[in-house]
């Protein structure tokens, strides 16, 4: 066990493997950690920093009362855990956009799966949208947030929540600073760009609008008519998250022109994103 001096600022390129985060340029930046106290246990592959610990790497910033790193036999990072009141995470996901910000009583980052778990009073702000829940899973690679109010365990104590999840949707979102290239067309899944008929079928007549029926909770529901691409924003210039299967039930949260922000399931996971309304039916 090695104990490092207090009030330290360490360039950790020789001590820690490069972390794999969302913005590619961040991976090329040095990792720095500031804390009041640090200790390393080489035998079990654990390094812990205590007392106002702050980790930075490029646009990435993690704060906590305690930050602990766990490594495998090859000294590659397996997991990082930050604890605080609250622990905080911030990083730019896409160049030109505002950083994603997250906080929770305990934050767990898993390097291989590229996921962050917020346990206890979780809160994520992403592209103007806010997600609150006792347990939040944030998929960095897919830019997808899943929130729930289930009890969680922190320091072997169960933390319950008396509140349901809370989601605030910003219909305008955060637009990219420059227009990206349009994605290639696909014949397997559809959105506004992948079906050439979508651009011309209503060129000489007024486009009909599907009326979706509102449910008891006030949100309308639609059903996919084909395998449907879901994107991070209201347009084909935004990144594709995944594909909803045909006949999927989608809860419609808000709309912007011909694009709908929806919540549904794909590959067993809850996904929130944008789809083109042409490929949803009311029943």
Say if residue 59 is in the same domain as residue 131. Answer: yes
Say if residue 161 is in the same domain as residue 201. Answer: no
Say if residue 103 is in the same domain as residue 237. Answer: no
Instruction: Give the model confidence (pLDDT) of 16-47 as tens digits.
Output: 444 444 565 677 777 788 999 988 887 888 99
Question: 110: domain range?
Answer: 2-168
Longest dimension (CA), the chain: 76
Q: Note whether residue 66 is domain-resident.
A: yes
Q: H or E element: which one contains 196?
A: helix 196-200
Q: Note whether residue 189 is domain-resident.
A: no
Tell me, what's the pLDDT at 172? 58
The mean-pLDDT minimum among 9-23, 124-138, 152-166, 229-243 falls in 9-23
Q: Note whether residue 210 is domain-resident.
A: yes
Q: Note whether residue 176 is domain-resident.
A: no
Say if residue 164 is in the same domain as residue 241. Answer: no
Say if residue 43 is in the same domain as residue 155. Answer: yes
Instruction: Give the model confidence (pLDDT) of 172-183 as tens digits.
Output: 554 444 444 434
Number of domains the chain contains = 2
Residue 219 sits in a domain whose CATH number is: 2.30.30.40
Say if residue 45 is in the same domain as residue 163. Answer: yes
Sign of the dihedral through C-alpha 209, 222, 231, 192: negative
Say if residue 75 is in the same domain as residue 22. Answer: yes
Which SS3 state, helix, strand or coil, does residue 28 take?
helix
What is d(CA 18, CA 130) in angstroms, rounded to the nearest whole number?
29
**End-of-domain residue from the set 168, 184, 213:** 168
Say if residue 105 is in the same domain as residue 215. Answer: no
C-alpha dihedral over 34, 30, 102, 85, to 10 degrees? -10
Instruction: Give the model confidence (pLDDT) of 187-205 as tens digits.
Output: 345 665 444 444 333 334 4
The pTM is what? 0.53
**What is the average pLDDT score of the chain?**
75
């Amino acid at each position: 066990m090695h104990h490092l001096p207090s009030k330290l600022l360490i360039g950790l390129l020789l001590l820690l493997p490069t972390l794999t985060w969302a913005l590619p340029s961040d991976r090329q930046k040095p990792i720095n950690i500031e804390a009041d106290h640090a200790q390393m246990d080489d035998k079990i592959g654990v390094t812990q920093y205590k007392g106002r610990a702050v980790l930075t790497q490029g646009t990435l910033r993690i704060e906590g009362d305690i930050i602990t790193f766990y490594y495998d036999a090859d000294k590659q990072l397996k997991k990082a855990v930050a604890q605080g009141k609250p622990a905080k995470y911030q990083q730019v996901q896409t160049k030109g956009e505002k950083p994603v910000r997250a906080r929770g009583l305990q934050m767990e980052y898993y390097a291989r799966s590229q996921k962050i778990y917020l346990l206890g009073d979780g809160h994520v702000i992403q592209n103007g949208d806010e997600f609150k829940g006792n347990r939040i899973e944030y998929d960095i690679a897919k830019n997808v947030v899943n929130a729930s109010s289930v009890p969680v365990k922190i320091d072997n104590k169960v933390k319950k929540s008396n509140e349901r999840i809370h989601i605030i949707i910003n219909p305008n979102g955060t637009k990219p600073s420059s227009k990206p290239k349009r994605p290639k067309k696909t014949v397997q899944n559809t959105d506004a760009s992948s079906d050439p008929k979508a651009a011309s079928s209503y060129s000489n007549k007024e486009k009909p609008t599907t009326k979706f029926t509102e449910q008891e909770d006030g949100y309308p529901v639609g059903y996919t008519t084909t395998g449907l691409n879901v994107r991070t924003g209201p347009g084909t210039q935004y990144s594709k998250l995944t594909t909803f299967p045909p006949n999927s039930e989608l809860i419609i949260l808000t709309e912007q022109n011909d694009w709908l922000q929806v919540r549904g399931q794909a590959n067993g996971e809850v996904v929130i994103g944008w789809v083109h309304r042409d490929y949803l039916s009311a029943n």
